[in-house]
Amino acid sequence: MAKAADGDSADAIVADGLNVERGGRRVLRDLAFTVPRGSVTGLLGPSGCGKSTLMRALTGVQANVRGRLDVLGLPAGDKRLRDRVGYVTQAPSVYADLSVHENLRYFAALLRAPKRDIDRVTEEVDLAAYRDSQVAHLSGGQRARVSLAAALLGTPELLVLDEPTVGLDPVLRRDLWDVFHRLARDGVTLVVSSHVMDEAERCQSLLLMRDGELLAQETPDGLLERTGAKDAEAAFLALIESEPADGTAGGAEGEGAAR
Amino acid sequence: MTPMTPMTATAGRVLRQLRHDPRTIALMLVVPCVLLALLRWLYDGQPHMFDKIGGPLLGIFPFIVMFLVTSVATLRERSTGTLERLLTMPIRKFDIIGGYGLAFGLVAVVQAVLATGLAIGLLGLDVAGSTWLVLLVAVLDAMLGIALGLLVSAFANTEFQAVQFMPAVVLPQFLLCGLFVPRDQMQPVLEVISDLMPLSYAVDAMNRVSNESGVDGLLLRDIGVIAGCVVAAVALGALTLRRRTR
């Protein structure tokens, strides 16, 4: 197990030959990529392309993961990663019948995070005014932020955020991206999924996925250059259309090459 | 204050959730009492009948109530995604289940004090053994309901399925626990099945405490079996929890 650890410590994530099967279907196919530490990586692709499955694999809750997937130098899901990786699921996973503060206090206790962390993260997601409100009474966007705040507690080295800015207004979205960039400057690695293409431009690196396969790993500028498109959305469409005509042909080809 | 462990933090969190839900607390504490009062009223003309079945039911009502509440509460944790979050965090599966056991166990103590106090103090339930022993057995019976509720919730995917476990898991035990037909007078096959059901020991223990003033080996055996079942169900519940899911 330790063999993977030291050599790759510059990379927060190393995936090679990564496959995930679900209900007899391969939902991730032969993914190979690395994510450098201290960066914001966008995970983009149409809904159902396997983004969430990849994120679940990274956090160690996905079954049937084959191939190599190292996180912070350890196999994904390793016990030692549990206070080093923060995870925010697509649906806000917090206790609706508790207040914002009570939620954060519980998660902070599990992470052994200091008490002042609770106030820090509450400020960071702009919920100080709702500290004592029951989560059930908050709006969808506010609930998502409580869920995000819980992942910011302690000192996570990797944050895996599944569509953290969905349904948020532009001002708040900008503020959260500022928080993400500040964290990255401090050395935290962030993997942020989105199907909103304009968020791509805020990332340092992009992983573009379709049908469980990795289409490209590029910088936003590199992607525009390569496709000659004006924005990320056009670039993504250009990339999909330049691929072999149809998923079946491409898939069969890919499998032939892999075996 | 003792330092917070993941288990006590979880118990504290579950209790805080309950505090925001006074109706559930009221139901957990009041329902067994109301049922006992109803039973006393039902046997108004035959106080000896109340003495005969009041004891066992003092153990059975909290068992059923706690079974239902626990199985749904832990299932809610699964369906809202908080369980998945917890499983990526530094907490052992046993601490999650144990936290629930601890929190609801505390409620079970309050419930047992109220129900026992009411039955013996106000409704005139006549027991030969000490009130403390009745209380102990009542708490253990409620804990048994909690532990079995925690265990079966691992096998339910929806709240709909969870409530179905009530008739499936609880009612057979209720029929065969010796309340309707004494266990030693059952068909041999049924007696064996009854011997395998934890609730039978809960009712046996309550019967012994009601009818005998001393503590004998059989009572200790029953208490040991109930406690063993509680520990086994909680451990099994933790084991059946899967970190990685499809």
Nearest by CB to B246, which of A63, A87, A98?
Answer: A63
pLDDT exceeds 60 at position A249: no
Assess contact for B141 and B198: CB atoms under 8 A: no
What's the whole-number mean pLDDT along residues B99-106?
Answer: 95
For the stretch B182-233, pLDDT in tens is: 999 999 999 999 999 999 999 999 999 999 888 889 999 999 999 999 999 9
Q: Could you tell me if A150 lies within 8 Å of chain B, comparing CB atoms?
A: yes
Q: Average per-residue pLDDT in chain B?
A: 92
Residues of B with Cβ-Cβ distance to A65 under 8 angstroms: 244
pLDDT digits (tens, 9 = 90+) for B36-78: 999 999 999 898 899 989 999 999 999 999 999 998 888 889 8
Handedness of CA B199, B216, B106, B22 (dihedral sign): positive
Residue B50: predicted pLDDT: 92
Q: Please give the mean pLDDT across all residues of chain A.
A: 87
The string of DSSP letters for A17-80 reads EEEEEETTEEEEEEEEEEEETT-EEEEE--TTSSHHHHHHHHHT-BSSEEEEEEETTEETT-GG
Q: A137 at the B interface (CB within 8 A)?
A: no
Per DSSP, the residues of chain A read -GGGTTTTTTEEEEEEEEEEEETTEEEEEEEEEEEETT-EEEEE--TTSSHHHHHHHHHT-BSSEEEEEEETTEETT-GGGTTTEEEE-SS--S-TTSBHHHHHHHHHHHHT--THHHHHHHHHTT-GGGTTSBGGGS-HHHHHHHHHHHHHSS--SEEEEESTTTT--HHHHHHHHHHHHHHHHTT-EEEEEES-GGGGGG-SEEEEEETTEEEEEE-HHHHHHHHT-SSHHHHHHHHHHHS-S-HHHHHHHHHHHH-
- Which pair of structure tokens corresponds to residue A224? 């525009």
Out of A87, A95, A98, the one facing B88 most closely (by C-beta) is A87
Evaluate if residue A259 carries a pLDDT over 80.
no
Give percent of chain B above pLDDT 70: 99
Contact partners, residue B196, CB within 8 Å, separation at least 6:
none
Nearest CB neighbour to B17, from listed A22, A92, A95: A95
Who among A59, A98, A102 is closest to B88 (CB)?
A: A59
User: Does the CA dihedral B1-B5-B11-B13 come out positive or negative?
Assistant: positive
Mutate to test the interface with B, among A21, A110, A147, A155 (most CBs of B within 10 A): A110
Kindly report, residue by residue over A63-106, the tens digit of the pLDDT. Answer: 999 999 999 999 999 999 999 999 999 889 999 999 999 999 99
Instruction: Report the candidate in B216, B246, B209, B13 with the shortest Cα–Cα distance to residue B127.
Output: B209
Q: What's the pLDDT score for residue A2?
A: 42
- Is the CB of A95 less than 8 angstroms away from the CB of B80? yes
A250 pLDDT more than 60 = no
Phi-psi region of A72 (alpha: psi -120 to 50; beta: other; left: phi over 0): left
Is the Cβ pair B84, A89 closer than 8 Å?
A: yes
- A60 vs B12, B91, B243: nearest CB: B243
Task: Give yes or no for A52 touching B (CB within 8 A).
Answer: no
The confidence score (pLDDT) of residue B41 equals 94
Inter-chain residue contact B20 with A97, CB threshold 8 Å: yes
Give A-chain residues touching B12 at CB under 8 angstroms: 106
- DSSP-derived pairing of the beta strands A25-36 and A11-22: antiparallel
Contact partners, residue A147, CB within 8 Å, separation at least 6: A88, A89, A92, A93, A94
Least confident of A45-59, A127-141, A159-173: A159-173
Show which residues on chain B lie within 8 Å of chain A, measured between beta carbons. Answer: 4, 6, 9-10, 12-13, 16-17, 20-21, 80-82, 84-91, 242-246
- A150–B243 C-beta distance less than 8 A: no
- Give chain B's radius of gyration (CA, Å): 18
Share of chain B above pLDDT 90, in %: 76
Give the gap in angstroms from C-alpha A215 to the nearest C-alpha of chain B. Answer: 24
**Highest mean predicted confidence (pLDDT) among A8-12, A145-149, B158-162:** A145-149
For the record, the structure tokens of A185 come out as 């400057």
- Give the pTM: 0.88
Instruction: Please report the pLDDT score of residue A237 as a whole number.
Output: 83
Which one has a higher pLDDT value, A195 or B143? Answer: B143
Cβ–Cβ gap A110/B86 under 8 Å: yes
Res. A246: pLDDT tops 60: no
Flag whether residue A95 sits within 8 Å of chain B, measured between CB atoms.
Answer: yes
